[in-house]
Amino acid sequence: MASVAREWREIPGRYNTVGTKCGACGKIYFPARSLCPKCRRASVGKMERYDISEEGEVYTFSVVHDAPDANMRMKPYAVGMVKTTDGVLLTGQIVDIDPHRIEIGMPVRTVLRKIYEDGESGVIHYGFKFVPKW
Amino acid sequence: MVKVGIVSYGAYVPRYRITPEEIGKVWGVDGKGMGRGLYILEKSVPHPDEDVATIATEAARNMLARTSVPADRIGALYVGSESHPYAVKPTATIVATAIGASPRMTAADLEFACKAGTAGIQVSMGLVGSGMAEYAVAIGADTSQGAPGDALEYSASAGGAAYLIGKKDLIAVINKTVSYTTDTPDFWRREGQPYPTHAGRFTGEPAYFRHINAAAKMMMEDVGTQPSDYQYAVFHQPNGKFPTRVAAGLGFTEEQVQTGLLTPRIGNTYSGAVPIGLAAVLDVAKPDDRIFVVAYGSGAGSDAFDITVTDGILEYDRDAAPTVSKLIEDPVYLDYASYAKFKGKIVMQE
Ligand SMILES: [Zn+2]
């Protein structure tokens, strides 16, 4: 279980798929990085906030049958990699569709959903998931 | 007086549905007849990972998609609901962050049974009208619960809508708002109780009808209008029957009520009900259309609004987000077992 403080620092990336773009080579990173591993020192001070597109298509996925307790009420469910329209690969759950109807290339969009709850009295963690496009 | 009104709006309804017939099967009740009596054909059910924070966020993101107003110019955000995910920890903070409106702003959660969303519109009008905020957001959203087997289980559903209130580039002017408030214990839920309690069937007359009638009449008297002056009327809709009955009593026709009546298709979305109904009207409204709106919240009170659609609606990018009819056109139906699992009505082993 991640600490509440760590979760809190990561909120921009969890709620809104905010990454960074290297001002030197143009590569987009998610989660956000403070240094481009390719350009290294040349990227210092050039890493800019980048709002990743909320639309994309299913790149690959698998169906999870043996779920952790937090997701008991949703299983079986799909976890997939989605290629956004700006070419970034994001990983997350694909919901609001029967997992057996998901196809590679299917258009999806990101939404905010509950990711897990720390029991009945703990913090509720929210983050992005994917649903079929309107 | 400064003109204050609606700059943008957006709605959201979860994808899943259950029918009264399916619920009735489990309890040995004629669910189909029950549904006919309430005029509810099906009701929306939230996915297990949806709650008021996620529903409000979707509605607010749809609202922002239709306007060029940047989120950081929103000075206030209110989420009205009776099913806030936390007892203490505002839903509004989560939504404001998720849409990029925080941190230079004020935010709070509102509660007034089914009219907390329209209460938020009134608060927003005050802030914007006084100049304290350039833009304010009011959201009504709920994931209401009915106890298993209770009459409310046939209607309690989930959904919400968000309104961007401002003074410039209005798609609709709110000419006036008035409220009628009394201390009436028709419906309540004590802290820590999972399901609400209601005072039974008799509550229609002294609660819903009395308050809506009073607020509606006050409004028409104050602005000097009569029902025929309005193209559309939206009334709170705990079921499909009450709003047409209250409308008829006041002199409105079924045609005026039809467009904003969503409960037969999605159930009672509580704080979301009038905001979603108004959204469905704005989806099709034309310049100079006049809209009459009366919300009702148990406990009890009614908020009435007199709204005129402006020419701004012609340039407004309605298609940048789904209309209410688009939102509800492709539902997934659940059997009762899946519904019980979704809603957490099955007690899991720790
Ligand atoms: Zn680089």
Tokens of B38: 């309430």
Q: Respond yes or no: is residue B82 known to be catalytic.
A: yes
With CB atoms and an 8 Å threshold, state whether A115 touches B49: yes
**The pair of three-digit structure tokens given for residue B125, joined into one six-digit string:** 């009008």
Does A79 lie at the interface with B, CB-CB under 8 angstroms? no
- Closest chain B residue to the Cα of A133, Cα to Cα: B322
- By Cβ distance, the residue of B58, B322, B341 closest to A73 is B341
Cβ A11–B97 below 8 Å, yes or no?
A: yes
Of the residues B84, B198, B211, B236, which is catalytic? Answer: B236
- Looking at residue A1, its pLDDT comes to 46
pLDDT, position B13: 98
What is the average pLDDT across B172-179? 98
Q: Is residue A36 part of a domain?
A: no
**E strands, chain B, in order:** 5-12, 16-18, 43-45, 74-80, 106-110, 135-143, 158-166, 172-184, 187-188, 197-198, 232-235, 290-297, 299-309, 332-333
pLDDT band (50, 70, 90) for residue B65: very high
CA distance B212 to B114: 13
Among the partner residues A96, A115, A134, nearest to B326 by beta-carbon distance? A134
Of A69, A72, A114, the CB nearest to B54: A114
Q: What is the pLDDT of residues B179-238, one digit of tens each?
A: 999 999 888 888 888 888 887 765 788 899 999 999 999 999 999 999 999 999 999 999
- Cross-chain residue pair B50–A114, CB shorter than 8 Å: yes
**Environment class of B116 (CB within 10 Å of its CB; exposed 0-12, middle 13-18, buried 19+):** buried
Superfamily name with CATH number, domain B5-171+326-342: Thiolase/Chalcone synthase (3.40.47.10)
Give mean pLDDT, residues B73-90. 96
Per-residue pLDDT of B5-61, as tens digits, reads 999 999 999 999 999 999 999 999 999 999 999 999 999 999 999 999 999 999 999
Chain B contact set for A131 (CB, 8 A): 15
Has B191 been annotated as catalytic? Answer: no
Q: Chain A residues with CB inside 8 Å of B97's CB?
A: 11, 15
Has residue A126 been placed in a domain?
yes
Q: What are phi and psi of A89, to 5 degrees?
A: -95, 120
Is residue A99 included in any domain, yes or no?
A: yes
CATH class label, B173-313? alpha beta
Residue from B246, B153, B152 nearest B200 by CA: B152
Query: Does residue A22 sit within a domain?
Result: no
Q: Is B221 a catalytic residue?
A: no
Q: How far is CA A85 from the centre of its chain?
A: 14
Which chain A residue is nearest to residue B341, measuring alpha carbons?
A73
Which tens digit of pLDDT belongs to each residue from B222-274? 999 999 999 999 999 999 999 999 999 999 999 999 999 999 999 999 999 99
Interface membership of A73 toward B (CB under 8 Å): yes
What is the domain-level CATH number for residue A80?
A: 2.40.50
Contact B100 A16 (CB under 8 A): yes
Number of structural domains (chain A) is 1
Q: Which domain holds residue A112?
A: 53-132
Cα-to-centroid distance, A38 and ligand 1 (Å): 5
Whether A43 is in a domain gets the answer no
Among candidates A11, A96, A114 on the partner chain, residue whose Cβ is nearest the Cβ of B15 = A96
pLDDT in tens, A55-93: 999 999 999 988 777 777 888 899 999 999 999 999 999
**Cα separation values, B31 from B22, B328, B339, Å:** 7, 22, 15
What residue spans define the domains of chain B?
A: 5-171+326-342, 173-313
Mutation target for B interface from A55, A73, A95, A129: give the one with most B CBs within 10 A. A73
